[in-house]
Amino acid sequence: MRASLTILSLAFGAALPLAAQQTSVVGVRPLAFGGLFPGIPRAVLRTDPANSAQFDLKGHPNGSASLTFLLPAVMTGPAGATLPLVFGGNDGGFSASQSIASQVGFDPRTPYLATFASNRASVFLGGTANPSVSQRAGTYTGTVTLTVVFF
Partner 1 sequence: MSRHGLILGVLALGSAAPLAAQGVLIAPHAVYIDHARRSGTVTLYNPNPDPAEITISTAFGYPVTDSLGHFALRAVDRPDSTLPSAAAWVQAFPRRLTIAPLERQTVRLLATPPAGLPDGEYWARLIVSARGGKLPLGGAADTAAVRVQLNLVVNTNIGLAYRKGPVATGVALSQLRARRVGDSVEVWSRLERRETAAYVGTVRAALVDSTGKVRSTLNAPIAVYFVMAPRYALSVARLAPGPYWVRYELVTEREDLDPAVVLQAAAVRDSVQVRLP
Query: Which has the closest alpha carbon to 128: 30, 39, 38, 43?
Result: 43
Binding test (CB under 8 A) with partner 1, winner from 8, 10, 73, 104: 8
**In terms of CB distance, is 78 or 89 closer to partner 1?**
78
Return the range that interacts with partner 1 (CB under 8 A); candidates 86-94, 102-110, 142-150.
142-150
Query: Which has the closest alpha carbon to 125: 26, 9, 16, 44?
Result: 44
- Determine contact, residues 127/86, Cβ cutoff 8 Å: yes
**Integer Cα distance of 100 and 150 in angstroms:** 22
What's the gap between Cα 119 and its chain centre? 18
Binding test (CB under 8 A) with partner 1, winner from 46, 52, 75, 126: 75
99 binds partner 1 (CB under 8 A): no
Rule CB under 8 A: which residues touch partner 1?
1, 4-5, 8, 12, 15-17, 20-38, 53, 55, 58-64, 66, 72, 75, 77, 83, 111, 113, 129, 131, 134-151
